[in-house]
A and B are shown apart, each in its own frame.
Chain A
Amino acid sequence: MYVIECKGLKKRYGKEKLAIENLDIQLESGRIIGLLGPNGCGKTTFMKILTGLLVPTAGEITVCGYRRSEATNNFISYLPERTYIGGRKKISAMLDYFEEFYPDFDKVKAYKMLESLNLDPDSHISSLSKGNREKVQLILVMARNAQIYLLDEPIAGVDPAAREFILRTIVSNLNPGATVLISTHLIQDVEPVLDEYIFVNYGGKIIGRGTASELMETEGVSIDTKFREVFRYA
């Protein structure tokens, strides 16, 4: 069974801009997949449709065998590219909030991750730096034992040392058998953890797909090198 399956997916913004045009895609379980492509090719749009933040113009989406709805959000743990936590709430209050809404949220795991990142659960979110807020958000997402993790630019805007830590956090806290879809431009950094890559061009068109090991065996190049070849500007 595919964890995510889309048929004829379309998303149009207004009358002119077609972000995704007729996308057919199936994603298997237990894989860490890199969704790679140039800016504006529809990667974020695709993730937002899966989580219900965007309403698709047309097409069918199934998540873990169910037609996409608010109920399928129980299977998906989503890290958006922007920070949505803020205000005068404490970190611990956010953990309580997630525990209340997501039955698969592991609070003990979340507290352990906070400890390893030297984050005080009693700190107010408004007092945290942008980087620390992103870390809290990552903890909230990775402390869930979800079937699917959608991570949109999880390492953008952080220093190389933090990138390594974040990737380690992602890989070490994964629910076994879960599928991870990572959208990023920092291919070199994520490449070591990827099982599979999907190259996406404008309009959400898939122009390449395979595993990192296959690519190395057949062409003797890394995903990053292949990406640069495929998306080379004229």
Chain B
Amino acid sequence: MRKMLKHDLKAIWPVWRIVAPVVFVLSALAGAMVGLGYAEYKFFEPVNGLFMLSAYLIESYWPIILSAFSMLITVLIVVRYYKNFFTDEGYLTFTLPVSRTSLLNSKILMALIWLAATAAVCLLSNFAYSFMVELIMPEDAFSFGSLTAELMEEIIRSIFAAEESLHIAFFLIELLFMGIAWTVASLLLLFLCITIGAVIVKRAKLVLGLGIYYGANAVIVITIYIGIIIGIVALGAASEISDAAILVMLHVIFSMSGVLFSALGVGAYLLNKKLINEKLNLP
């Protein structure tokens, strides 16, 4: 298992080690350009058109760069899972003296590690962006960095402030739990769908697997929306309901969502394990 994990991690590393620093530097550059753009606009009229255009483009496309980075790593993870298990490479993978469960666990761990590392780089890139904007931009201008700082201050204050403000802290914890549970469940569901595709058909396995995944995702999202609508209608129907009760209900909804996503993830993992152990045949 440890050997497998080492090889799985090494497979993504050559791409990650190049793209991650590039994303970080581009983020800092984007922040600098935005800051300079405001400074230019503020102090050096008439405005340099080309400079403003560059600043605008980098500012506009910076979120796309972050998304593209996350997408790239996700695609690499999916491709590695698919190629190692369901193409001719499977002849090497499944004849190793390693159990199928260990092979699956290694792929999941590898994916989680790289996703966490990618999320960390995205977060650091956000800070680099904010820091550069803050560093260069004039004090009186609107700043994403100062907005983030203010928000953080508010959160910290709320945690240690009045009793009712503790709700905010709990909401943040619940949101974090929900976010992590959803990310892990999505990954496990994606792996499961690719396995189902590979077990059902001999050709276009990945296409079918991704189709099943997006179909399942659509069903989940629709179910969530229906749940939210029912909740809103129910709240609207209740004539006398206190603010405290609404807050408690929201806590329950957030926590339950996290628990449901976790259950979805566990279910997807167990089913995937069963399929790989009992149904997967390499043609």
Interface positions of A (Cβ within 8 A of B) = 13, 48, 51-55, 69-71, 73-74, 76, 78, 80, 82-86, 97, 100-102
Residues of B within 8 A of A100 (CB): 3
Contact B96 A70 (CB under 8 A): yes
Most chain A CB atoms below 10 A, which of B88, B278, B280 = B88
- The docked-state distance in angstroms from the alpha carbon of A102 to that of B95 is 11
**Cβ of A53 and Cβ of B94 under 8 Å apart?**
yes
Pair count A-B, CB < 8 A: 55
The reply to whether B97 and A84 contact each other, CB–CB distance below 8 Å, is no
The winner among B91, B100, B281 for most chain A CB atoms within 10 A is B91
Does B7 belong to the interface (CB within 8 Å)? yes
Distance of A38 from chain B, by nearest CB (Å): 19
- Nearest residue (CB) in B for A77 is B95
* Known contacts A53-B282, A55-B278, A101 near B88 by CB under 8 Å: no
Contacts of B282 in A (CB 8 A): 48, 53-54
CB within 8 Å of A: which B258-282 residues: 277-282
Contacts of B48 in A (CB 8 A): none
Q: Would B95 and A78 count as touching, CB distance under 8 A?
A: yes
For this complex, 6 residue pairs linking A to B, each with C-beta atoms less than 8 Å apart, are: A55-B278, A69-B99, A70-B99, A70-B100, A78-B91, A83-B88
> How far apart are the CA atoms of A85 and B3 in the complex, in Å?
18
Chain A neighbourhood of B278, CB < 8 A: 55
Report if A101-B98 is in contact (Cβ < 8 Å); known contacts: A53-B90, A82-B88.
yes
Look across to chain B and name the residue whose beta carbon is closest to the beta carbon of A45. Answer: B281
Q: Is the CB of B280 within 8 A of A55?
A: yes
Residues from chain B with a CB closer than 8 A to the CB of A102 are: 97
**Chain B residues near A13 (CB-CB < 8 A):** 281
B89 on interface, CB distance cutoff 8 Å: yes
CB distance from A148 to the nearest CB of B (A): 12
